[in-house]
Amino acid sequence: MVKRSLLVGLAVLGLSDVAAQAVIVLGGDGRNELADNQGANGISSELQGKFGDYLGTPISANYFITARHIYNGTIPSITTTNAAGVTTVHPLDAAHAVAIGDSDLVLVPVTVPFATYATIYNPANDGVLANDDALTVFGRGTDRGAPYTRPGGSSPTGWLWGATDHAKSWGTNAVAGEATDTNGYQYLVATFDNNGVATEGALSDKDSGGGVFIFKNGQWRLTGINNSVALFRETAAGSDLNAAIYDGRGLYEQDDNGNYVLQPTTGPAVPQPWFASYVPQQLAFINATVPEPASLGVMAVGAMMLGRRRRV
């Protein structure tokens, strides 16, 4: 469970529009890159379509879902590639895209159907999520840059965001809790813990729109859409760090009121949290727009109010 106030990001749309990028992982060279026809962890390549510089997740033959803050109506299509390497272009019916209230989610129709689409996690059938439930996350964008060491520190505690290449990549993590913004919208929370798992992932610039999947009842189910990461600074009045931080001790982290608070230099590590819009909260709305048999459930993991954070 998330035990501290780590909700340092956007509670209200429009405070920042820096969209998330590629999934940075602990092991190897910091990326698990995927060719267009490659899936990961048993999740089909067709479930993550390329949408401009970002990703979208098909949820029916005729609709996909993505982050609202990356959608401006100008990207003409989304493309999917199957395991055989066959790529299909799906032109958008942009005039009929539907924002889900004031959340950071948008449903976008296409004029060429999807052959494969994701099943949305449904707590009524799949059970409520629990802390430490394993997840797989996808994104595009930066590679892992140079190691980051805080001023006065003796060893690295993360990596800077590297070059922007929009490569599709993936990582794993676990549910750390749930956050709710000031409008009542829920977010799945994961943290970058440096736990020794080579595939453990953190978000960086332009990961927004990527899908978060959790395995329940024998199937990978769409549970979140990447939204944002927490903010750290070296000084309270300094610039936000463009970095994946697995230990923010000695850095300033933004609290729910927008203030930057110095984290202790001793005690437990302070891992960077990242956030994904919790799709099951919107099942009733989605089912009314995209008819599919599902019902609305309630997420029951450690809850907290969501402050301001950096969109990825």
Query: Rounded distance, CA 82 to CA 25, Å?
Result: 25
CB 277 within 8 A of CB 69: no
112 contacts: CB under 8 Å, gap ≥ 6 = 88, 89, 90, 91
Residue 227, domain member (yes or no): yes
For residue 2, the one-letter residue type is V
What's the Rg (C-alpha) of the chain? Answer: 18
Predicted confidence at residue 82, as pLDDT, reads 97
Q: Is 91 helix (H, G, I), strand (E, B) or coil?
A: strand
Give Dmax (Cα) for the chain.
56
Residue 54, domain member (yes or no): no
Residue 98, domain member (yes or no): no
Predicted confidence at residue 208, as pLDDT, reads 93
Domain count within the chain: 1
Predicted confidence at residue 266, as pLDDT, reads 93
Residue 1, domain member (yes or no): no
Identify the residue whose tokens are 């202790």. 264
| pLDDT tens digits, 20-69 | 446 999 999 998 999 999 999 999 999 999 999 999 999 999 999 999 99
Query: Rounded distance, CA 163 to CA 252, Å?
Result: 25
Residue 38, domain member (yes or no): yes
Residue 18, domain member (yes or no): no
Predicted confidence at residue 309, as pLDDT, reads 66
Residue 195, domain member (yes or no): yes
Predicted confidence at residue 206, as pLDDT, reads 85
Residue 95, domain member (yes or no): no
What DSSP line would sit under 28-60, residue for residue? TTS--B--TT--BTTB-GGGSEEETTEEEEE-S
CATH of the domain at 198: 2.40.10.10
One digit per residue, pLDDT tens: the chain, 312 residues?
233 332 333 332 222 333 344 699 999 999 899 999 999 999 999 999 999 999 999 999 999 999 999 999 899 999 999 999 999 999 999 999 999 999 999 999 999 999 999 999 999 999 999 999 999 999 997 899 999 999 999 999 999 999 888 899 999 999 999 999 989 999 999 999 998 999 999 999 889 999 999 999 999 999 999 999 998 999 999 999 999 999 999 999 988 788 999 999 999 999 999 999 999 999 999 999 996 533 333 333 434 445 456 677
Query: Rounded distance, CA 141 to CA 55, Å?
Result: 11
Query: 247 is in which domain, residue-wise?
Result: 24-42+118-282+293-311
